[in-house]
Structure 1
Amino acid sequence: MTHTLHSLAAYCGIADGFHDIWGHWHPASDDTRRTLLAAMDLPVDRLAPDAIRAQLEDAEWLHPLPPVKVVRCGESLRLELNLRRADCERGFGWRVQAEDGGEGGAILASGHFTAAHLHPLGERNIGGEAFSRRLLELPSLDLPGYHRLLLDMDGAAWTTMPLIVAPAQSYLPPAIRNGGRVWGPAVQLYGLRSHANWGIGDFGDLRRLVGITGQAGGDIVGLNPLHALFSDNPAHISPYSPSSRAALNTLYLDVEAMPEYAGCAAAREKVASPEFQARLRELRSRELVDYPAVAAAKREVIELLWQHFCSLPADSPHVREFRRYRAEANGPLQKHALFEALQAHFCAQDERVWGWPAWPEAYRDPQSPAVAASAAEHAAAVDYFAWLQWSAEAQLTEVAAEARRCGLAVGLYTDLAVGANPGGAEAWCWQGVFASCASTGAPPDDLARQGQDWGLHPFIPRRLRETAYAPFIEVLRENMKHAGAIRIDHAMSMQRLFWVPGGGNACHGVYVDYPFADLLAIVALESWRNECLVIGEDLGTVPEGFRERLAAACLLSYRPFIFARRHDGSFARPGEYPRQALVTASTHDLPTLTGFWAGADLDAQAQCGLFPSEEARERFVAGRAHDRWRVLEVLASEGLQPESEGIDRSAPESADTALIAAIHRFLARTPSEVLVVQAEDLFGSREQANLPGTQEDLHPNWSRRIAVELEDWSADQRFQQNVAAICQERGTR
């Protein structure tokens, strides 16, 4: 039994164990194997492992073609063809049809073959009938796209298969392709302060930031994930635990910039009232974003704007534009709007109902008759949530256009989260593809010594392939639509993902393999279609050879200064950074430069009980003191050590502006193609955006606001000093 269990687990991509970052081997237990196999919807509680594997293999043999084939342009097309032995003497015709819209669905290639003449790969008996597997080799294709291969026997349509043809490499913007290096700020959009926003950064602020960046000589603006969260639960704020990665967070709407605002007297009067203005001043003054209060204020006015929109004549240009958008919009919009309408309906009945697993059973299947009836019954609510998405997309489209007008060579740089919240719209729409009894995470490392459980359900690899990778394509396409660059969070998930058994401990998790070559090719295809640079976040436990494969596919590596070390622990010199990379001083999950220098992150971890012992805390404190010396050492090696009274080599309390500017000048010297500067580092913030391993009740994650208002950025001495240092090293446009 143990042997067959291990064999089934390996067949499904479940690893035998893992090495942590310290080199220790953690073998997978049989309990973990069973739990993860069950999470893959395999009946390990009813059938023996060898019987389950036989069923899986039989299912493959019973399908003439695989569920999808992914190839690169110019790569020969090799297919495993499964046939009844009795059909092997027959002749077959084949043709490749271009996707709809691609050359009008033209036939790209065609031909005939006799199966008996193909190279045999094996035989299998299923239910008393003999099957033969043959190797079908077809000519290569040079047109990228989502095509279809059609096979017919004796002139009758027989079977089809999605055929995805991808470019050899991902897209690079001309500025980088021609040898240039770009830079720009990176912000948590919610944290932007301005005179105009309502206590949270919005798309209007983002447009202003694009202008500031262009004037400073920057070419890229980095952002946290803009994914949709939960309209009915604004206290759920992590951008990395979204309801859907294929929809936008409408809390970022600039309400006063919405087209309906100018024509809605009721909304303008409400906003202009002394009472409402006092609310806005209070929200703007807070150090942390008050999400529920911001959501309440925006909702009150947006509902008035919706009423105004509904009162417009059916033939008005604005209404016609929305109806055209609804008619032309792809599946994700309709599915997300329907989810939002249903969630609002059930939450209004019982506010404890949060997420589709808590809905009445008849509504949990998006294809059920009850859901179809509810879509008609709540059509106005579905329209409302679609209108919100339309409004958000219109504002983000305008920001992207502003970036082009300002001459930014790359434009917006957005972040794609590694997964979606199990209770949200994406999990509801694709629930058959997600493993419902497991979650994604990471093995123990220096940042999380007990391992991490992110609470996000992973894709089941075989189910993902059975959909021809539709969920993966959907989120890539929607996130690249308005971006000049995208960062794939935890890019290693394309090759393997750490699964944590449901209800278990992260230390009991194990890696599960994914079809890396296929997913990487799809990234390249969507990258070219959307003219979007791709950065693969490759921090943490990285598989051997993974970075080399990313580089060969023209994905940029992700290199924070804090982690860029030599084998002896000293910091890498500028020339040791790869060209094909994005460099940054820190990230949202790491200490700011000021926090790093003062050890603020270590203090916060101690307060939250993240150290296993006092001895461990003291070891990290001592290591940080050594790292401060290492920073000064590497800066001195480049002639950049700042002469400043604010730097005490023995017991520094803070990193002053000169030191931070020196680090950014150092990073600007690297050959790396992209440099992003965290807004928190520009203005000397001490606290980081997120402290991994903590919840909001222990640490105010995802709510800290930037100290300086946007209107004051350009005149701020710290901003000017950092920009000057970077531009002197990288040049200006």
Structure 2
Amino acid sequence: MTTETALDRLAQRLGIGDQYRDGHGRPRRISAESKRTLLSAMGFAAESDTAIAAAIQAVDEVPWRRPLEPVLIAAEGEPLPPVPVVLDADRSGHSLSWTVEEEVGRSHRGAVEPGDLPCEASRRIDGRVLERRSMRLPLSLPAGYHRLRLSGAAEASTVLIVAPPRCYWPPALEGEGRMWGVAIQLYGLRSERNWGIGDFTDLRHLAEALAPLGVGVIGVNPLHALFIENPNRISPYSPASRLFLNVLYIDVEAVPDLDACPAARTAIDRMRESGRFEELRAAALVDYPGVSGAKLPVLEELYRSFRTTHLAEGGTAKGDTNRAAAFHAFQAREGQALETFSLFEALSEHFRRTGSGVHSWRDWPVPYHDPASPEVAAFAAEQRERIEFFQYLQWQADLQLQAVGDRCTQLGMQIGLYRDLALGVDSDGAEFWAQQRLFARGTAIGAPPDLFNTKGQDWGLPPMTPRALRENAYRPLIEVLRANMRHTGALRIDHILGLMRLFWVPHGASPTEGGYVNYPLADMLAVLALESQRSRCLVIGEDLGTVPEGLVDRLHGYGILSYRLLYFEQTGDGDFLLPEAYPPLALVGVTTHDLPTLPGYWRGRDIDLRARLDLFPSDDARRDAQRARDRDRRCLLDALRRQGLLPAGESPEDELDRPPSERLVQAAYRYLARTPSKLLMVTLEDVLGEEEQPNLPGTTDEHPNWRRKLPLGIDELAADPRVRALTATIRDLRPAPRAGQAAGQGAS
């Protein structure tokens, strides 16, 4: 066996693909060097023949060295599938007892003779003869997370996940039901009362303003926790943790402790008198450090007041106080994850102030790199009150987000809040620090070259390894889904292709040197269906890019909406798909946060920006992009005219040679409203004529990503004639469900 053949064999064992296709459909083979880097990231040395042979042996022997796999997946309403059990051949005379403990507390027991079980294979390891036998359990279990335990001939236990056949589906979407809503960036909401950034109260007020116009869902950017100690790290798609919330979205003046806190009220009055709030609100872009500097000191005063009023020494309840009981209930619900996250926040604050943790936890003294170290435990004991402060912040954020979800339900919105789940986390953040063994080192998630990103993409997010996910019985995935489905009627999963495969890019290499790594799609879809049903939360899968064959059908089979954008829905000849050709099981829209707004698309603003920032690989590529855009604009005009949405007699140059008219934007959304697709999302920036997109992929400081505000305040939005005209048209094309059809809001 040659080194290359052995390397390929090891890569295949661990799910690394041999090649990929770029956005033009051209195959690109993954180099041996890239394979070695990806294998190393998974923890397997592959620098020599000997190392590769040892790695192959280790991988092959893993399932033989334990009686049970770490997790088993079964289908609700069906008999449990056969359970593979690995036993010592010389213990086949011992009986094997089993117990299944249901999540709700019921138990089922039985015993079998190992020799009576079918033997599927055998293997000698370390002088022992091992047999893999197949055991059937005479059970059909309800959906949930259960545990199977063995004793006697083998001592072992495993998680048994029983999943429903599909994700939750709101009644309003059954049959021919269709809905629509608006998509916003929460930070960009303007109001006369916020502190320079949209907050949870603004989101509630937006729902109150738009629900009467027929809006059934409001989509928001990821609300994940960012970096309190570094407020300039603002990408919601590179968060510190997806398990918790961005506390800058807290409406400080809505925190109940304000009434009993003179110090906080005085601080607010002083900022109001100095014009600080007006200054932050008037800024064209969100001033994150300014907002943080205004909010956090007041929130500290509110926490101190809460602690003095409601908590006794040691954090226990002081007397009979409902707020203390509610806080302790929140702490209990969030458990160890909240404790570890808040500990990370306290450590970040401490080391940043001492100058040894300016950029990352990797800058901290080495003993603090390990969350389980004695030094970290000592810090946690000494800084109990500070850790509790960060828990208090998460409690307030959660309460205010819950109020948004509850208000959407009261307003009769059929879905209400639609949240966005980022693909991964920043390696400098709390989620990575707490679970370092889950992640691959030396690589980042990205994407191969495509039509919009011709150099490929490196998103800088460390991937979780498929093996680590499975070894942990998918608990990390379960916790992230559960946290983001709370108080929510729908969840958009960014780059849902990651349930099947992720494109890993070696650190320091071009994205073209990356390769795909396969993930356990069937298992992860089962977990997603179970969590979706429990939270009564619709799932939307962002499946843009190079989609593996058959994946969309698998998603649809689970009741997961696909993602269809007007820009990309074209035939091979460049014509735009007719409305009736769109799939029913889809969310449709014109654009997303990573793509140009329709006005920006029409003017080629994104092409100009990419050229100025040297994001094209060549001048020829830039010219090709401009020619393609000119062709697409003409094809879009033709499509809209054929549908009778624009006057047929006008010369195309009337629209091509000027900024996009209001009627062009309205026509594009009416075009999508005619599709059979279940959900239509309107991007408010399109309706308001904004040319700049929220985020330009491939840039950080070169472009003001994640800072742009909407040009109008919430009250002005609802009264704007462009908004009212479009919502009236869509309301006619997609009427709200009849009374009694409304779906339940996400579990709170």
Are 1:719 and 2:716 matched, yes or no?
Answer: no
Q: Which residue of 1 aligns with 2:610?
A: 605
* Residue from 88, 95, 103 that aligns with 2:92: 88
* Secondary structure, aligned partner of 1:135: strand
One-letter identity of the residue aligned with 1:228: A
Is contact 2:20–2:516 with CA below 8 Å preserved after alignment? yes
Q: Which residue of 2 aligns with 1:128?
A: 127
Are 1:412 and 2:417 matched, yes or no?
Answer: yes
One-letter identity of the residue aligned with 2:436: Q
CA distance in 1 between counterparts of 2:292 and 2:657 reads 41
Q: Which residue of 1 aligns with 2:25?
A: 23
One-letter identity of the residue aligned with 1:243: A
CA distance in 1 between counterparts of 2:625 and 2:23 reads 16
Deviations 1:313-348 (A, max 9, x none): 423332332133223433321111111011111111
**CA 1:212/1:650 → structure 2, altered by over 3 Å: closer, same or farther?**
closer
Offset of residue 405 of structure 1: 0.4
Identity %: 44
* Residue from 705, 708, 711 that aligns with 1:707: 711
Q: Which residue of 2 aligns with 1:245?
A: 242
Are 1:73 and 2:70 matched, yes or no?
Answer: no
* Residue from 230, 234, 249 that aligns with 2:231: 234
CA distance in 2 between counterparts of 1:331 and 1:486 reads 24
Is contact 1:486–1:535 with CA below 8 Å preserved after alignment? yes
CA distance in 2 between counterparts of 1:494 and 1:662 reads 35
Q: Provide the alpha-carbon RMSD of the alignment.
A: 1.8
CA distance in 2 between counterparts of 1:450 and 1:355 reads 28
Are 1:373 and 2:370 matched, yes or no?
Answer: no
One-letter identity of the residue aligned with 1:708: L
Are 1:265 and 2:262 matched, yes or no?
Answer: yes
Offset of residue 233 of structure 1: 0.3
Deviations 1:94-140 (A, max 9, x none): 232111xx2xx102x44332222322221111111111112223346
Q: Which residue of 1 aligns with 2:428?
A: 423
Q: Which residue of 1 aligns with 2:53?
A: 50
**CA 1:646/1:275 → structure 2, altered by over 3 Å: closer, same or farther?**
farther
Deviations 1:246-277 (A, max 9, x none): 01000100111111122222222222236655
Give the stretch that moved more between structures: 293-302 or 236-245: 293-302
Q: Which residue of 2 aligns with 1:339?
A: 344
CA distance in 1 between counterparts of 2:30 and 2:674 reads 44
One-letter identity of the residue aligned with 1:128: G
**CA 1:276/1:369 → structure 2, altered by over 3 Å: closer, same or farther?**
farther
Give the stretch that moved more between structures: 68-77 or 184-193: 68-77
One-letter identity of the residue aligned with 1:510: G
Aligned positions of 1:568-647 closer than 5 A = 568-641=573-646
Give the stretch that moved more between structures: 498-507 or 348-357: 348-357
**CA 1:248/1:647 → structure 2, altered by over 3 Å: closer, same or farther?**
farther
Is contact 2:645–2:667 with CA below 8 Å preserved after alignment? yes
TM-score by length of 1: 0.96
Which structure has more RCO (C-alpha within 8 Å, separation ≥ 6)? 2
Deviations 1:349-375 (A, max 9, x none): 116533222221111111222211111
* Residue from 263, 276, 280 that aligns with 2:277: 280
Is contact 1:527–1:533 with CA below 8 Å preserved after alignment? yes
Offset of residue 78 of structure 1: 2.4
Give the stretch that moved more between structures: 332-341 or 639-648: 639-648
CA distance in 1 between counterparts of 2:233 and 2:356 reads 14
Is contact 2:458–2:511 with CA below 8 Å preserved after alignment? yes
Unaligned runs of 5+ in 2: 311-317, 738-748
Q: How many residues align?
A: 725
Is contact 2:194–2:202 with CA below 8 Å preserved after alignment? yes
Q: Which residue of 2 aligns with 1:463?
A: 468
**CA 1:676/1:608 → structure 2, altered by over 3 Å: closer, same or farther?**
same
* Secondary structure, aligned partner of 1:444: coil
* Residue from 255, 261, 286 that aligns with 1:289: 286
Is contact 1:647–1:654 with CA below 8 Å preserved after alignment? no
Q: Which residue of 1 aligns with 2:14?
A: 12
**CA 1:274/1:332 → structure 2, altered by over 3 Å: closer, same or farther?**
closer
Deviations 1:443-499 (A, max 9, x none): 011121111111111011111111111111110010001111001100000000001
One-letter identity of the residue aligned with 2:157: T
Is contact 1:312–1:319 with CA below 8 Å preserved after alignment? no
Q: Which residue of 1 aligns with 2:734?
A: 730
Q: Which residue of 1 aligns with 2:663?
A: 658
CA distance in 2 between counterparts of 1:353 and 1:273 reads 30
One-letter identity of the residue aligned with 1:7: R
CA distance in 1 between counterparts of 2:333 and 2:671 reads 48
Unaligned runs of 5+ in 1: none
CA distance in 1 between counterparts of 2:271 and 2:89 reads 82
Deviations 1:565-584 (A, max 9, x none): 12212111111111111111
Q: Which residue of 1 aligns with 2:185?
A: 188
Is contact 2:124–2:130 with CA below 8 Å preserved after alignment? yes
* Secondary structure, aligned partner of 1:468: coil
CA distance in 2 between counterparts of 1:158 and 1:365 reads 31
TM-score by length of 2: 0.94
CA distance in 2 between counterparts of 1:176 and 1:225 reads 24
One-letter identity of the residue aligned with 2:254: A
Offset of residue 228 of structure 1: 0.2
CA distance in 1 between counterparts of 2:699 and 2:649 reads 35
One-letter identity of the residue aligned with 2:135: L
Are 1:672 and 2:674 matched, yes or no?
Answer: no
CA distance in 2 between counterparts of 1:14 and 1:37 reads 8
CA distance in 1 between counterparts of 2:651 and 2:327 reads 56
* Secondary structure, aligned partner of 1:200: coil
**CA 1:277/1:518 → structure 2, altered by over 3 Å: closer, same or farther?**
farther
CA distance in 2 between counterparts of 1:126 and 1:728 reads 70
Offset of residue 682 of structure 1: 2.2
One-letter identity of the residue aligned with 2:64: W
CA distance in 2 between counterparts of 1:452 and 1:559 reads 21
CA distance in 2 between counterparts of 1:343 and 1:674 reads 41
Q: Which residue of 1 aligns with 2:212?
A: 215
Are 1:454 and 2:459 matched, yes or no?
Answer: yes
Q: Which residue of 2 aligns with 1:310?
A: 307
Offset of residue 542 of structure 1: 0.6
Deviations 1:300-324 (A, max 9, x none): 2212212222221423332332133
* Secondary structure, aligned partner of 2:182: strand
CA distance in 1 between counterparts of 2:618 and 2:294 reads 45
Is contact 1:338–1:382 with CA below 8 Å preserved after alignment? yes
One-letter identity of the residue aligned with 2:291: V
Q: Which residue of 2 aligns with 1:63?
A: 66
Is contact 1:642–1:658 with CA below 8 Å preserved after alignment? no
Offset of residue 607 of structure 1: 1.4
Is contact 1:85–1:132 with CA below 8 Å preserved after alignment? yes
* Residue from 1, 4, 10 that aligns with 1:2: 4
